[in-house]
A and B are shown apart, each in its own frame.
Chain A
Amino acid sequence: MGLQKIKLQRKFKEHFIEITLLAIAVTSVMVMLLIFYFLIHESLKAFIELGAIPLLTGAKWHPAGDIYGLLPLIANSLIITIIALFINILVGLPLAIFLAELAGPRSKAVLKPAIELLAGVPSIVYGFLGIIILVSYLQDTFDMLTGRSILAGSILLGIMFVPYMTTICEDALRAVPGEFKEGSLALGANRWQTIRHVTIPAASSGITAAVILNIGSIIGETMAVLLVVGNVARIPSPIFNIFTQGATFTSVIAGEMGEVPRASMHYHVLFAVGFVLLIIVSILSIVADLTRERIRKKFGGY
């Protein structure tokens, strides 16, 4: 009798733990759904009262006059993301190739953790450095009205995410099986030809995933951009004028949310901006995830 009871108790306990763990595991899904729910809930009023299309395509952002159009934010974010990504790839990819293919084992042992460490520098610190060093440098050098500009934001974001870019790309390059490279070298190709025509194509989906993830991080980065971009939401004129102030999705939310009264139209519109941002970033995350899944299938155990 006693034994049976213990057995039953044990079974119950096991079952209870499994259910608890399942509930915990589903929490992350729930959190994601909750985030979506609250952002939709708070931004619904803006979409309904202003109309989704006029809100998204309005060319003027002027909260004081209750005029809200997201086009300036979209344009600015797009320009900043493109330039930042360009800088990011230009600096990060050569560094990754250097670490994966050219560096000796000893320098690699020092450099790789150092770069991983640098990925942790908080964005507010980058913002601080940006405002003290970069902004004043740009202002003096290019004789700008103010150094806080789209250019400053792009440069800062580009540099900030170099460690991420380098780390992920290096892992992708290193995941390419050695046989591929050895085969190419044995056929008489030199090292650069091997990297260019064998290693990089084989690692391309990993590099693509890195780029997509970095686009998401660049669009979503807040504090550094908030401090250096100037926070004037208008479409730059001419459109390639990167030496003027701008405002991105994130900088508008972070810069204006502190001052708006709750439940005003401005408040709801800022949530709408957040919702648009969330949609963009979620799509990017899912695409990156699918890309990585494809690599796993392609290379099997690597």
Chain B
Amino acid sequence: MALKILPAVAFGTCAVLFISSLICLLVQPSLELIAPLWAALLTIAAAALAASIISRRPARGGKGQETGLYIYLDLILLAALALAIVAGFLSPDLVIKRPLGVGASFRYEIVLPALTAAAGVLGIKDSVNLIYGQGAKGREALVFLAIRFSAVLALLLLGGILFIIIYKGMGAISWEFLTTPHRSLGQKGGISTVIAGTFWMVLGAIVVSAPLGLGAAIYMHEYSKNPRLKRTITIAVSCLNGVPSVVFGLFGLAFLVSTFGVSLLAGSIVLGLINIPTILLTCQEALKSVPNSLREGSLALGATKWQTISRVVLPSAMPGILTGLIMGVAKASGETAPIMWTAVTFTATPVQMVYGIIPNVFQPVNNLDYHLLNLIYFLGAWDVEANAWGTALVLISLVLGTNMLAILVRNHYRRKISW
């Protein structure tokens, strides 16, 4: 066991090296104090590795030879890097200027942490191999370490994205921000008209897509006996699911704008069509989860097929259908490209109503995505950053909130209903 202390020391120092150099790559502090520290750590790691190789050779006899040449190579690299830092080959004024004609230069602050990180990885690999051996066990330890590390990194990244939006957005959000229209190109005021526009557009999208998606799902699952037709629809739906949103925008521009003009109606139809696959697939899953015994029971009592579907199957599949609709809301509120030329303007006028409750569907409105896009375009020229963060936060709370609701509904009923 005593022999394992040395590689453990090497592992620890290499891990410190690797993580600190990654942080330095991101933050880019001045490396004046850090560089000598890294040199010292590299020396310690190299020494510990060398010592552990030497000390384990007699214990394992001939097997020590199998440690392979590359460990020595790694050792030399570690030592060389330490030497290069100490001797000043890697001086702070080092710049690799536009190598091979690419449009970027690599400064000392980038090159040194990158090299150190690489050295750290090599050292970690060698020390794990020294602890667990070269065989299957060593490889398993190494791979699991890598997987765990990259999983943590990925989660930090994704969590960081959320955190920064919430942190920055909270500063911009106030009651006034949510309840007043924007003024002076979005520099002042809030987003009330934008929220109203989003609401009506998403509602319109659901009104369009719910019957289409649900009806198609019912036909596919309850009626269709023709496998060829079913296959055709399935392929069409998966194609439709893959159609890029910007292509939907082109389609709306060519098809709907010539008929309805740039309007709420055109935007709702385009978003509704985009939503069909999401709703259809979820509803199909929901219908699949209803056991056949329920249908047979109802039919045996003399109910017709439609009575069975409308009074037995659909109520039982309701949670799943609801999940699909909520996911449709989330999807429709996050799309920008399809509505850019079909439904929106950067307007601050409130949505006009007919009879007080129904919006005039032939007017263009503003929505959250498009508002944010415009604020991004204004970023350099005007002082809109705070409002942009606020809009982004409202947008993701809407999308993530509805998505979370969908997950909750699904989980709630999954637990509650057991056939």
Interface residues of A (CB under 8 A from B): 10, 13-14, 17-18, 20-22, 24-29, 31-32, 34-35, 38-39, 41-42, 90-92, 94-95, 97-99, 102-103, 111, 113-118, 120-129, 131-133, 140-145, 149, 159, 162-163, 166, 189-193, 196, 213, 216-217, 219-223, 227, 237-238, 240-244, 250, 253-254, 257-258, 270-271, 274, 277-278, 281-282, 284-286, 288-289
Q: Which of A17, A90, A243 has the most CB of B within 10 A?
A: A17
Task: Mark B residues whose CB is within 8 Å of A.
Answer: 28, 100-107, 109-110, 136-137, 139-140, 143-144, 146-148, 150-151, 153-155, 157-158, 161-162, 164-165, 211-212, 215-216, 218-220, 223-224, 232-251, 253-255, 273, 276-277, 280, 304-306, 330-331, 333-337, 340-341, 369, 372-373, 376, 379, 385, 388, 392, 395-396, 399-400, 403-404, 407
Docked Cα-Cα span, A250 to B100, in Å, equals 29
A26 lies within 8 A of B392 (CB): no
15 contacts between A and B (CB under 8 A): A21-B223, A25-B233, A28-B216, A28-B240, A31-B236, A41-B254, A91-B157, A102-B148, A124-B369, A126-B161, A127-B376, A144-B103, A162-B157, A278-B244, A288-B242
Task: Verify B239–A286 contact, CB threshold 8 A.
Answer: yes
Contact among A39, A192, A223 for B337, CB-based, below 8 A:
A223
**Smallest CB separation, A171 vs chain B (Å):** 13
**Do residues B216 and A27 form an inter-chain contact, with CB atoms below 8 A?**
yes
Bound-complex Cα distance A116 to B154 (A): 14
Cα distance A129–B143 in the bound complex, in angstroms? 32
Smallest CB gap from B371: residue in A? A124
List chain A residues, Cβ under 8 A from B150: 90-91, 94-95
B372 lies within 8 A of A125 (CB): yes
In the complex, what residues of B have CB within 8 A of residue A238's CB? 100-102
Chain A nearest CB from B279 CB (Å) reads 11
Please indicate the chain A residues that have their CB under 8 angstroms from the CB of B106 in the complex: 142
Contact partner, A144, options B104, B146, B147, B392, Cβ 8 Å: B104
B-side contacts of A227, CB under 8 Å = 376
Name A116's closest neighbour in chain B (CB-CB): B407
Partner of B158, one of A133, A163, A216, A217: A163
Kindly identify which residue among A25, A32, A123, A223 contacts B216, using a CB–CB cutoff of 8 Å.
A25
Which A-chain residue is minimally distant from B26 (CB atoms)?
Answer: A137
Is there contact, CB below 8 Å, between A258 and B340? yes
Given contacts A14-B305, A38-B254, A250-B244, 10 further A-B contacts (CB under 8 A): A21-B223, A117-B403, A122-B399, A124-B336, A126-B161, A128-B372, A220-B245, A222-B244, A222-B337, A223-B337
Most chain A CB within 10 A, of B102, B223, B403, is at B102
Query: Across the interface, which residues of B come within 8 angstroms of A111, CB to CB?
Result: 155
Q: In the complex, what residues of A have CB within 8 A of residue B280's CB? A: 28
Query: What residue of chain A has the Cβ atom nearest to residue B331's Cβ?
Result: A120
Q: How far is the CA of A189 from the CA of B106 in the complex (A)?
A: 45
Contacts of A257 in B (CB 8 A): 249-250, 253, 340-341
The answer for the CA separation of A34 and B102 in the assembled complex, in Å, is: 44
CB A114 to nearest CB in B, in angstroms, measures 8
Chain A residues near B340: list those with CB within 8 A.
254, 257-258
Contact A117 B400 (CB under 8 A): yes
For the complex, give the distance between the alpha carbons of A237 and B127 in Å.
42
- Chain B residues positioned under 8 Å from A121 (CB to CB): 161-162, 334, 396, 399-400
User: Among B144, B164, B407, which residue has its beta carbon within 8 angstroms of that of A129?
Assistant: B164
* Interchain nearest-CB distance for B358 vs A (Å): 24
User: For residue B277, which residues in chain A have a CB less than 8 angstroms away from its CB?
Assistant: 28
State how many angstroms separate the Cβ of A226 from the closest Cβ of chain B.
Answer: 8
Known pairs A24-B212, A258-B341; A274 contacts B250 (CB<8 A): yes
CB distance from B292 to the nearest CB of A (A): 15
Chain B residues lying within 8 Å of A29, measured Cβ to Cβ, are 232-233, 236
Contact for B219 among A24, A120, A258, CB less than 8 A? A24
Whether A243 contacts B104 in the complex (CB less than 8 A), given A17-B306, A227-B376, A281-B242, comes out as yes
| A102→B144 contact, CB < 8 A | yes
A162 proximity list for chain B (CB < 8 A): 154, 157-158
Known: A17-B306, A115-B158. A193 touches B110 (CB 8 A): no
Contacts of A274 in B (CB 8 A): 246-247, 250
Q: Please tell me if the beta carbons of A192 and B144 are within 8 angstroms of each other in the complex.
A: yes
Say yes or no: A192-B136 contact (C-beta < 8 A), given A28-B216, A98-B151, A277-B247: yes
Is the pair A241, B101 in contact by a Cβ cutoff of 8 Å?
Answer: yes
Residue of A nearest to B373 (CB): A124
Question: Which B-chain residue is minimally distant from A41 (CB atoms)?
Answer: B254
Would you call B245 and A222 a contact (CB within 8 A)? yes
Residue of B whose beta carbon sits closest to that of A10: B304
With A and B bound together, what is the CA distance between A13 and B249 in angstroms? Answer: 38
Q: Known: A21-B218, A162-B154, A284-B242. Contact between A220 and B104, CB under 8 A?
A: no
Q: Bound complex: CA of A18 vs CA of B154, how far in Å?
A: 48
Contacting B110 at CB < 8 Å: which of A103, A141, A149?
A: A141
Find the B residue at minimum CB distance from A32.
B236
CB distance from B401 to the nearest CB of A (A): 10
A121 to B158, CA, bound (A): 10
* Contacting residues, chain A, for B218 (C-beta < 8 A): 21
Return B329 CB to nearest CB of chain A, in Å: 11
Q: Which residues of A lie under 8 Å from residue B139 when comparing CB positions?
A: 192
User: How far is it, in angstroms, between the C-alpha of A223 and the C-alpha of B334 when the chains are bound?
Assistant: 11
Residues from chain B with a CB closer than 8 A to the CB of A127 are: 373, 376
Q: How far is the CA of A190 from the CA of B243 in the complex (A)?
A: 43
Would you give the shortest CB distance from B197 to chain A, in whole angstroms? 15
Quick one: which of A20, A142, A163, A254 contacts B246, CB cutoff 8 A? A254
